[in-house]
Amino acid sequence: MKILMLAFGTFFFKYRNQAFPLIILVLFVAVPPTTAILGSTALEQWKDFVALAMVLAGLVLRAMVIGYAYIKRGGLNKRVYAKDLVTEGMFGVCRNPLYVGNMLIYVGLFLFHGNPVVVIVGSLLFGFIYQCIVYAEEEFLANKFGEAYSAYCRDVPRWGLKLSAFSASTEGMAFNVRRVIAKDYSTMSSTLIALLATEFYRVAADSISDQELSYAIVLVGLLVAVLALTGLVSSLKKKGVFDKLTAVR
């Protein structure tokens, strides 16, 4: 089983940028989002609140990781690779903090959609894929860094957050706001687009009533604004605006 998971991990490490959006699109299109839980709009609103809180927590965690000690997760030539063993910043709190952040975002998106099939299948599938990717990365790191990596694994949890280590692991480090924007604006943008598109899908699943028309227009306006802001940030990044890495202490 471990060998099969390693093969899956290697595959999805290489093609995750293409596979993950496709999987989400298929799940979301296959079944419409919920509009009420057990006939209760109040429960639906609480569910959405929890979902949005999870998404926000995931984005914040990713920002903390990138702001303190960012490492390139794309590997080398789309293969698992690491030049150094990074153990400071949020990597002193969790061995896979970016993946934990991603899972919070994905599960939050699935929960926001609300259909039980999407929530269960999506969460389990992405959890399995990330575990496979982690196995592939761990095998590479263990082979390259040996006992140093073994000691790191003994001290830092794979998925949990050892918050008691945060102060020591970030001591003397500065939080880099510009790097967060430059490196993670696309994740923030795609997450907002997914939320807005899902909400619009919910409103327009059958037909848009006169009462829902204004809300639908607001959603479209927000979607256009997110796309425009994303384009602006991308343009500024190409012009080198974020090259000067500004830190906040």
DSSP state letter for 82: -
Q: Which residue has the higher pLDDT, 19 or 82?
A: 19
Spatial neighbors of 146 by CB under 8 A, at least 6 apart, are none
Most confident of 25-39, 168-182, 193-207, 220-234: 220-234
> Is pLDDT above 80 for 208?
no
CB under 8 A, 24+ apart: contacts of 5-11: 5/131, 5/132, 5/135, 6/132, 6/135, 6/136, 6/139, 8/129, 8/132, 9/129, 9/131, 9/132, 9/133, 9/134, 9/135, 9/136, 9/137, 10/79, 10/80, 10/136
Mean pLDDT along residues 235-240: 89
In this prediction the pTM is: 0.92
* Among candidate residues 20, 48, 19, the one with its CA nearest the CA of residue 34: 48
CB neighbours of residue 229 within 10 Å: 14
In this structure, what token pair is assigned to residue 124?
């389990």
> Is pLDDT above 60 for 125?
yes
pLDDT score for 93: 96
Share of the chain above pLDDT 90, in %: 67
> What is the C-alpha end-to-end distance of the chain, expressed in Å?
46
pLDDT score for 244: 60
pLDDT score for 249: 40
Mean pLDDT along residues 87-116: 96
* Angle made by CA atoms 217, 51, 91, in degrees to the nearest 5: 120
Q: Which residue has the higher pLDDT, 20 or 36?
A: 20
Spatial neighbors of 141 by CB under 8 A, at least 6 apart, are 82, 85, 149
> Is pLDDT above 60 for 142?
yes
Tens of pLDDT, residues 39-76: 888 999 999 999 999 999 999 999 999 999 776 655 65
> Is pLDDT above 90 for 235?
yes
CB neighbours of residue 43 within 10 Å: 13
Mean pLDDT along residues 145-149: 94
pLDDT score for 75: 60
Mean pLDDT along residues 129-141: 94
Confidence label for 21 from pLDDT (cuts 50, 70 and 90): very high
